[in-house]
């Protein structure tokens, strides 16, 4: 049976889904060719050359701090980890972590991942996050004991999952007690293949690999959190174009410095036509531009 640690103050929290962001005031896209109102002969110009300018947000190193949160029922004797999550903001939660009894003998053996506290990201974390693999994941995860346990026994693993990539740090002799907490100081390498990659989900899991008794992960007093090295904007930048129909978009070629774009496309059918261009960075549409022209026979 899982139990929740009693908490002193019952406080209602309205979550503000805030995250570090940068403005897009300078992000824009423009169309140079065709000229506005141009008339293009389809027979003389079977393929059109399209071009324009674009400004994306420049990615700079930053740090995303993610907090371990729990949104269960105040005073409940049951602790469901389905109520645990990561968030961009800290706050007072209705409860302070989860405890449980891992197995009939109150033990979890090395290599077993069945007793854990799992904190996934979701709507409370702004994604995608562009990873900076030149720095390590750091932070402090605090665990506390429930019963009078044998000291210096526990093996605790903290795993940070970036999409499908799991990064693990092991802590030995990390047994928490009822009178003292254990602060697990994170320092986790990020593999080079994740550098400048956009991740859409982050999960932190505390695995009690070898344990006697029961314990929980603190979410406040103090707040457990970790710092994820990132960039302020995505390196995934592109310009998408379409004639009239947005379901038939195609991608333009960016210049090396990503300040201009070009494309070649068959001239559309005779009639009044509209070219639409949009700048996209990290899955977000930054700006759009349109250009009207006429196609003749």
pLDDT, one tens digit per residue, over 239-277 is 999 999 988 999 999 999 999 999 999 999 999 999 999
Cis ω before 34 (30° cut-off from 0): yes
Segments making up each domain of the chain, as ranges: 28-59+235-296, 62-231
pLDDT-based confidence at 208, cuts 50/70/90? confident
Task: Express each pLDDT in 110-155 by its tens digit.
Answer: 555 556 788 999 899 999 999 999 999 999 998 876 655 544 456 7
* Residue 159 pLDDT > 50: yes
pLDDT tier at 2 (50, 70, 90 boundaries)? very low
pTM for this model (two decimals): 0.77
Q: Do 131 and 189 contact (CB within 8 A), yes or no? A: no
Half-sphere exposure of 43 (CA within 13 A, CB side): 2
> What is the distance between the alpha carbons of residues 241 and 268, in angstroms, rounded to a whole number?
13
Q: Is the pLDDT of residue 59 over 90?
A: yes
Sorting pLDDT into bands at 50, 70 and 90, what band is 92? Answer: confident
Rounded mean pLDDT, 81-90 = 85
CATH class of 62-231: mainly beta
SS3 category, 83: helix
Q: Which two tokens stand for residue 265?
A: 């496309």
- Of the pLDDT bands very low, low, confident and very high (cuts 50, 70, 90), residue 178 is low
| Mean pLDDT, residues 79-86 taken together | 74
Any idea which fold 28-59+235-296 has?
Answer: Immunoglobulin-like (2.60.40)
Give the rounded percent of residues in the chain with a pLDDT score beyond 70. 71
Q: Which of 216, 211, 20 is nearest to 99 (CA)?
A: 216
Q: Which of 225, 240, 287, 272 is nearest to 68 (CA)?
A: 225
Q: Return the number of other C-beta atoms located less than 10 Å from residue 74's C-beta.
A: 14
Binned at pLDDT 50, 70 and 90, residue 77 comes out as very low
């Amino acid at each position: 049976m899982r139990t929740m640690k009693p908490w002193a103050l019952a406080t209602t929290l309205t979550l503000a889904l805030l995250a570090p962001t940068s403005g897009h005031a300078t992000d824009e896209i423009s169309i140079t060719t065709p000229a506005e109102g141009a008339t293009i002969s389809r027979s003389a110009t079977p393929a059109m050359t399209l071009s324009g300018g674009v400004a994306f947000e420049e990615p700079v190193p930053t740090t995303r701090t993610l907090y371990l949160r729990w949104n269960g029922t105040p005073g409940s004797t049951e602790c469901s980890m389905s109520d645990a999550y990561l968030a961009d903001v800290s706050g007072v939660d209705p409860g302070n972590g989860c405890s449980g009894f891992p197995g009939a003998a109150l033990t979890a053996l090395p290599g077993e991942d069945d007793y854990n506290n799992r904190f996934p990201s979701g709507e409370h974390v702004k994604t995608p996050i562009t990873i900076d693999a030149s720095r390590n994941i750091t932070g402090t995860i605090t665990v506390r004991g429930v019963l009078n346990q044998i000291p210096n026994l526990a093996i605790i693993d903290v795993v940070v999952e970036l999409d499908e990539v799991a990064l693990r740090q092991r802590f030995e002799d990390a047994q928490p007690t009822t009178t003292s907490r254990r602060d697990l100081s994170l320092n986790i390498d990020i593999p080079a293949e994740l550098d400048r990659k956009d991740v859409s989900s982050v999960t932190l899991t505390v695995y009690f690999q070898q344990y006697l008794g029961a314990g929980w992960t603190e979410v406040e007093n103090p707040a457990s959190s970790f710092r994820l090295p990132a960039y302020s904007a995505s390196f995934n930048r592109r310009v998408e174009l379409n004639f009239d129909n947005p379901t038939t978009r195609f991608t333009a070629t960016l210049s090396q410095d990503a300040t201009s774009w070009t494309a070649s496309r068959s001239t559309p059918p005779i009639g009044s036509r509209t070219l639409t261009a949009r700048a996209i960075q990290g899955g977000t549409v930054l700006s759009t531009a349109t250009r009207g022209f006429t196609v003749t026979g």
